[in-house]
Amino acid sequence: MIPKLYQMFMILDLFPLLSAIFAALSCGLLGNFLVLRKQSLMGDAISHAVLPGLVGAFLITQSRSPGIMFIGAAISALLTVVLVEVIKRLGKVEPGAAMGVVFSVLFALGVYMLESASARSVDLDADCVLHGNLQTLFWISSPTEWNHFLSANTADEIPRQVWTLLGTTIAVIAFISVFFKELRIASFDAGISTVQGINAGFMHMALMTFVAIAAVASFEAVGSILVIAMLICPAATARMLTDRLGSQILVSAIVALITAIGGYILAAIFEVNAAGMMASFAGVLLVIAIIGSPAHGIIAKARNQRRLGNQVALEDILGSLYRLAETNQSASQEELITALGHTKRTTKALLKAQYDKLIVIMDTHIALTDAGLARGASIIRRHRLWEGYLVDQAGLSPDHVHETAEQLEHLSELPDPNLPDEQTNPTTDPHGKPIPPESS
């Protein structure tokens, strides 16, 4: 006996949820290559432009059989791809405008046909084109016993949308796994791909065909707006989180899954449109990734920048103290802060240096510890080596190199290590000051 709660879930939610998951997966996986190729909007164009194909197929055959609708939509999807190329090449129209012209005219044609046709049949609805009809996928005769799942009838009762989407998802996964290498090369560099004997144009058409198939298959269940969201958002989210294409595809699949399930649950809780909620949720996930991605997020970038700034401030303090120590001078805390600029960052770096036992702050002056002296020496070494390099190799005049070296000294690299030894290891800088030896 299946408990009542599960029973309700299966009647109302199982098929919509499965459709949403499969649609999200197939579109989300393909989206990786669209985002990579900067052709995200081709998915947008295709999913708008399938409308006249769907309506046309219905008007001609007067049937809503899935095969015929599918063929109609696929024809207009491919027509879109071809027309965009033709207008771009023959008409020399800017790609964005070419896409805009094609999909808006085709969509207008679809709306026109739809409105003209709906006088005769109320079967087709323009709104459902946008946000699908997930809610209508009931499982009215859902099984009451667990073992009913195994009976032959169950397979027949699953709506064809779910089967179509399952088939599409499998086909998309197969396409990407078989042609992963080809897709990757053709997407990154069409030139290299041609050299390696992979026809980039063919791969482009194959990818577009699959995008069209996925869009058409998802269309009826989840609507065009979710198709567009799923083609772009999961891939973009994964792009924020990873650097390698393989892991990006994996992450995008997980994001697509979370989007479908999370969006569906939220829609159920707030009793709002499921496709719209999934698209919004995809946006929320993306915003989280853009802000919080460990490697490329806004927070991580700001933190790196702050850390770098603190390090520069610390190194400037140690460098100045080392210079003073060279000529047996010293400075008090106030003098040093005045010299380096009275900022919060300098004060903080001073405290940090004291805490790390690099300096000792005394009443009359600041003294470097042994560790501080060594760090200071290595910074001044880098500064003066760069000065020498800029004069000898870049041909700058000695009195112009200090400012540049002041920045370069904070790099971890030294000037070109391929130079002859007397040039990599000079003992004095262009101003005649000694270069501290490399610390062991």
Partner 1 sequence: MNALPVNLNEILETLTLRGGFNTNAVILGTTLLGIAAGVIGSFALLRKRSLTADALSHATLPGIAGAFLISTSLGYAGRSMPVLMLGAALTGALGVACIHLILHHSRLKEDAAIGIVLSVFFGLGIVLLSVVQTSSSGSGAGLNHYIFGQTAAMTRSDAVLMGTIGVLGSFIALIMLKEFTVVCFNETFARSMGLPVWLIDSIMLGLVVLITVSGLQAVGIILIVAMVIIPPAAARFWTDRLWKLVLISALIGGLSGYAGASISALLPRKPAGAVIVLVAGLIFAISMLFAPARGVLADSSRRIRLKLLIARDHVLESLYEIEIGTPDARHPRASSLLIKFIAARGWITTTNSTLALTDSGRVQGQRIHRNHQLWEQYLVSYADIAPTHVDWSVDQVEHVLTDELIAELEHALSQRGIFIENGIERTTKQGGTP
The residues that touch partner 1, with contacts defined as CB under 8 A, are 35, 38-41, 43-44, 48, 87, 90-94, 96-101, 104-105, 107-109, 111-112, 115-116, 118-119, 126-127, 130-131, 225-226, 228-229, 231-233, 235-236, 239-240, 267, 270-273, 275-280, 282-283, 286, 290, 296, 298
Chain centroid to CA 231 = 12
Of residues 7 and 118, the one with the C-beta less far from partner 1: 118
If you compute the radius of gyration of the chain from its CA atoms, what whole number of angstroms results?
32
Of 43 and 436, CB closest to partner 1 = 43
CB of 415 within 8 A of CB of 385? yes
DSSP SS3 for 366: strand
Q: Which residues contact 30 (CB under 8 A, 6 or more apart)?
A: 43, 172, 176, 207, 210, 211, 214, 231
CB of 243 to partner 1, least distance (A): 10
**CA neighbor of 137 nearest in space, from 268, 13, 260, 262:** 13
Do residues 340 and 346 make contact, with C-beta atoms less than 8 angstroms apart? yes
Please state, in angstroms and rounded to a whole number, the distance separating the CA atoms of residues 289 and 292: 5
Nearer to partner 1 (CB atom), residue 102 or residue 213: 102
Give the Cα separation of 249 and 234 in Å (integer): 9
CA 244 → CA 37, 75, 111, 184, 338, distances in Å? 15, 34, 42, 11, 47
Nearest-approach distance from CB 251 to partner 1, in angstroms: 14
Report in angstroms how near the CB of residue 109 gets to partner 1 at its nearest. 6
Report in angstroms how near the CB of residue 91 gets to partner 1 at its nearest: 5
User: CB of 16 within 8 A of CB of 273?
Assistant: no
Q: How far is the CB of 23 from partner 1 (least distance, A)?
A: 13
- Write down the least CB distance from residue 222 to partner 1, Å: 11
Q: Which is nearer to partner 1, 170 or 288 (CB)?
A: 288
Instruction: State which residue, 109 or 171, has the beta carbon closest to partner 1.
Output: 109
Closest to partner 1 by CB, 198 vs 241, is 241
